Amino acid sequence: MAGVFLTFEGGEACGKTTLIQGVFKELENRNLPVLSVREPGGTHLGENIRKTLLSTKEHIIPMAELCLFLAARAQHIHEVIRPAMDENKVILCDRFNDSTIAYQGFGRRLGPKEVAHFCNYISSGLTPHLTLYLDIAPEEAFKRVSTRKQDRIELESMEFHRRIREGYFSMAAQEPNRLHIIDATKTPQEVLEDALAHINEVLLLYGMG
Ligand code: Z5A
């Protein structure tokens, strides 16, 4: 399996979608084979699970929530990510295992180690070559989308969202070579430039620079 697997992480409205669009355009302009995907989602099953997970009508206990995110991911890896890796693509993935550890491990208090164990099991050794965590305080991020209807997870307490941020900091400290913190309070152009500096290094390393 070749290809380059890049993941984008952060709290609500940190700017992942905006950044991924910018990176996608940049890599496409360089004629690199690039694919943009998101979690949960990316497959028929994954999109259905996504609707259930984000619906404010559902009451989902933390353990069931964990299993649903993992089910969506297992299908996504099998149907989309591994085949794209086999085709030597650069994959830009909006959220992956770190989201599960941050949200279900730290946020829902299921335990980061326990959740990481499940994540590793279902992704069977698939680790991102690079992960960019877009950091912004949840209070600031929510101001960006104050007029938008909130989903089931966004409606959680500020305390929950703060635990997630702390969780990402703790993961970044443990894996500084893979997981880089980007200041998401900068302008979209500055965030893109900071991200590309890291991405270019990795692409060079894997012969795509
Ligand atoms: N979740 C989980 O719990 N466990 C898991 O394992 C996984 C996920 C995989 C997915 O929903 C939810 O599932 C998510 C985590 C949880 N929690 N919630 N809710 P989602 O994919 O719909 O949610 P999201 O990932 O948080 O996406 P988002 O809210 O749409 O945010 P974003 O993609 O990071 O941001 P954006 O759309 O690029 O930007 C948001 C706004 O800010 C927009 O108006 C932009 O124009 C603006 N923006 C963007 N960048 C900037 C900068 N730099 N400055 C100023 N304004 C900016």
| Residue nearest (by alpha carbon) to ligand 1 atom 36 | 15
Our mutation pick for probing the ligand 1 site, out of 135, 153, 189, 194, counting the most ligand atoms within 8 A of Cβ, is 153
Give residue-wise pLDDT tens across range 185-207.
999 999 999 999 999 999 999 99
Give residue-wise pLDDT tens across range 55-90.
999 999 999 999 999 999 999 999 999 999 999 999
Q: Reduce the DSSP state of residue 28 to 3 states and report it.
A: helix
Atom of ligand 1 lying closest to residue 14 CA: 34
Tell me the whole-structure pTM to 2 decimals. 0.98
Average pLDDT for the chain: 96
Distance (angstroms) between ligand 1 centre and the Cα of 38 equals 11
**Structure confidence at residue 1 as a pLDDT band (50, 70, 90):** low
Compute the distance between CA of residue 94 and CA of residue 10 in angstroms, rounded to an integer: 9
**Structure confidence at residue 209 as a pLDDT band (50, 70, 90):** confident
Does the CB atom of residue 26 touch ligand 1 within 6 A? no
Percentage of the chain lying above the pLDDT 70 cut:
100
Distance (angstroms) between ligand 1 centre and the Cα of 125 equals 26
Give residue-wise pLDDT tens across range 144-190.
988 888 999 988 999 999 999 999 999 999 999 999 999 999 999 99
pLDDT of 64: 98
Distance (angstroms) between ligand 1 centre and the Cα of 207 equals 31
Give residue-wise pLDDT tens across range 8-56.
999 999 999 999 999 999 999 999 999 999 999 999 999 999 999 999 9
Half-sphere exposure of residue 5: CA atoms within 13 angstroms, side-chain side: 22
Tokens of 132: 């960019």
Phi, psi of 6 (to 5 degrees): -115, 130
Half-sphere exposure of residue 16: CA atoms within 13 angstroms, side-chain side: 24
Name the CATH superfamily for 4-205.
Answer: P-loop containing nucleotide triphosphate hydrolases (3.40.50.300)
pLDDT of 154: 87
- Average pLDDT, integer, range 94-119: 98
Could you tell me the residue ranges of all domains in the chain? 4-205
Phi, psi of 8 (to 5 degrees): -125, 130
DSSP output for 84-122: HHHTTPEEEEES-HHHHIIIIIIIS-S-HHHHHHHHHHH
